[in-house]
Structure 1
Amino acid sequence: MTQAYRSSQERQAYHHGHLRESLVKEGLEMARRGGAEAVVLREATRRVGVSPNAAYRHFASRDDLLDEVGLAAADQIGLTMREAVAEAHGEGDEAQVVAELVAACRAYLDFALAEPGLFDVAYRISDAGLDMLKADRSKAPNYPDSVINDVLTGPDVKLSERVDVRGLVILLWSLLHGFVSLSTSGPLRGDKTAERAENVLNVIRASLRGAIARA
């Protein structure tokens, strides 16, 4: 690629305001193939076809890009969960709530096991990136915990006063994340993963039924 053509591409990217989004998109592709360690700012600029200096106007460092890629990956996980919730069907109000939560949990597990690279980068966000998310949830409106929280706080859901919603969200999220970590990079990898995942969902299903039944 000639320098003149590269400069033309660079100007066009700025004119349309797509350079930042393009770099994040390339970062997601790199993460999909190799996890967080594969996300390199200079390589992302090479793939987009701009100079490193152009990228530094949007991302001061690799960590900044990694945060944006991580948030985008986490949002993809949550979006998959939200779509599963929308398609879930149960019988009666209580069964519907349980069905929606189990569907969200199943979608989380399925995504993590199918896309380990994206799952990895979604949880490699720095403190600065997390602070950015807390200040502006629009950075990842479908962050996984928000999907679970939205189902639990729906207008037709009545939990016992003894049930702390945030605590229940963290409990479910921790159970899912812990199982995925053990199954992808821990001692349970390759060991009846699908069967074990179904067992995890059965435990979640039984626990949720009990909590909602006491409402």
Structure 2
Amino acid sequence: MTGKRGYHHGNLRQALVDAALSLIETKGPEGFTLSEAAKTAGVTPAAVYRHFEGKDDLIAEAALQGFEIFADLMEYAFDTGGPSALSRFEATGRAYLAFARKHPGHYQAMFESGVNVNRTSALAGAAARSRSVVEKAAERLSDAIPEAKRPPPSMVSAHIWAMSHGVVELYARGNAGTRGPFEPEELLEAGVGIYLRGLGLIPPDR
């Protein structure tokens, strides 16, 4: 019923995205059909094709909206993360976990659906904007390393991104069977701390 009202008001496209996000949260990106998305939105399957070429196109739109939210959140975390490069860097890590928890449908569409971020220029741009925040945080932090020993900011950000993604996948999904003795935030903070100590960016006794 809600989906049909949205359609009559010209919001069918967003109603379908919202339906897809709901289905992704419960079934995963591969666990639903385009017909199910249409039914959840309250329209016929044929109506979907007025806005999307197929399921991948629908998921790509959900991913695009997710990356836009994600990039805004990461930028806010960096801008308000504190007075030091280290505190801003750590704030972006916490923002990553917060986004994954608050927007699980978007997160899966972005990182687990198999949809190529270069599918559209808008999707590629939104994904690049979110990566650029982490790279900027890494670059500011890496300024303390002598240039000859300084790893590329893109490498540092890729390492932290991979660590954050691993913590989300293994420990931040809310699955009791994968819960460890530590909170995801504690795991990420400890992992980042070990990594940064290895680069000489924080003292061993911190």
Q: What's the TM-score, normalizing by structure 2? A: 0.72
Letter in 2 for 1:105: G
Tell me the matched-pair count: 193
How many angstroms apart in 1 are the aligned matches of 2:46 and 2:68? Answer: 28
Runs of 5+ unmatched residues, structure 1: 91-95
Equivalent position of 1:64 in the other structure: 57
Larger RCO, structure (CA 8 Å, separation 6 or more)? 1
- 5 Å-filtered alignment, 1:40-189, equals 40-90=33-83, 96-113=84-101, 115-126=103-114, 129-133=116-120, 135-137=121-123, 140=126, 144-152=130-138, 158=143, 160=147, 162-184=150-172, 189=178
Counterpart residue type for residue 12 of structure 2 = L
| TM-score (ref. length: structure 1) | 0.69
For structure 2, the 5+ residue unaligned runs are none
Give deviations 1:139-176, integer Å, cap 9, x for gaps: 6267542320233456x974635321222221111121
In 2: Cα distance, 1:114 partner to 1:137 partner: 21
- From the two aligned structures, give the one with the greater helix fraction: 1
* Among candidates 187, 192, 196, match of residue 181 of structure 2: 192
Contact 1:76 1:142 in 2 (8 A): no
State the shift of 1:89 in Å: 0.9
Give the whole-Å Cα distance in 1 for the aligned partners of 2:35 and 2:129: 27
Structure 2 residue aligned with 1:93 = none
- CA shift at 1:108, angstroms? 0.9
What CA deviation, in whole Å up to 9, does each residue of 1:64-111 have, x standing for no partner? 212222333344333332222222112xxxxx2221111001111233
Structure 1: how far apart are the matches of 2:64 and 2:96?
A: 15
Tell me the residue number matched to 2:193: 202
User: Is the CA contact (8 Å cut-off) linking 1:31 and 1:121 kept in structure 2?
Assistant: yes
Whole-Å Cα distance in 2 between the matches of residues 27 and 35 of structure 1? 10
RMSD: 3.5
